[in-house]
Amino acid sequence: MPPCRVLIADGDPNVVAALRLLLARHAEFEVAGESRSVDALLRQTAIVRPDVIVLDCELPGLDLEAHVAQLRLLHGSLEIVALSTRDERRSPALRAGASVFVSKGESPPNLLGSLRQVLALSTR
């Protein structure tokens, strides 16, 4: 099976770099693109057609409910891993349609576990 194509959408370049480095160490994942704003996220999703988006709930310009719904409508099989430093974003992210929520404070193995869980559910 080809690697899971992941789009990283986070406004913090340090988080993007850390996620890219983490995913590069695991052959089942391929970083297909990066976005640091909602406009870039929407463009990149249409261009690279990722299997999973790791989406920062505080991405500049993000209306969590509206944009997750838009992504789901345009790309039905897309999985979304919501990421935030604020645990109170968990319920809104899941209600909006995120596949799973991961705190930015989680360990890298926990984040990888969540990505693998979503990958197992994916119909890619």
> Which range (4-13, 80-89, 110-119) has the least confidence?
110-119
**51-82 pLDDT tens trace:** 999 999 999 999 999 999 899 888 878 999 99
Q: Pairing between strand 100-103 and 4-9? A: unpaired
Asked whether residue 124 carries a pLDDT value surpassing 70, the answer given is no
Pick the CATH number of 4-121 from 2.60.40.1730, 3.40.50.2000, 3.60.20.30, 3.40.50.2300: 3.40.50.2300
In whole angstroms, give the CA distance from residue 27 to residue 86. Answer: 30
Q: What are phi and psi of 10, to 5 degrees?
A: -150, 140
Helices within 1-85 (DSSP H only): 13-24, 38-48, 64-74
What residue ranges do the domains of the chain occupy?
4-121
Specify the pLDDT at position 76: 79
Residues pairing with 31 in the sheet: 6
pTM, full prediction: 0.93
- The pLDDT confidence band at residue 109, using thresholds 50, 70 and 90, is very high
Q: Pairing between strand 29-35 and 52-56? A: unpaired
Asked whether residue 121 carries a pLDDT value surpassing 90, the answer given is no
What single DSSP character describes residue 124?
A: -
Average pLDDT over residues 24-36: 95
Strand 4-9: give its sheet, edge to edge: 29-35, 4-9, 52-56, 79-84, 100-103
Q: Which tokens is 65 given?
A: 């409910």
Specify the pLDDT at position 77: 84
Asked whether residue 107 carries a pLDDT value surpassing 60, the answer given is yes
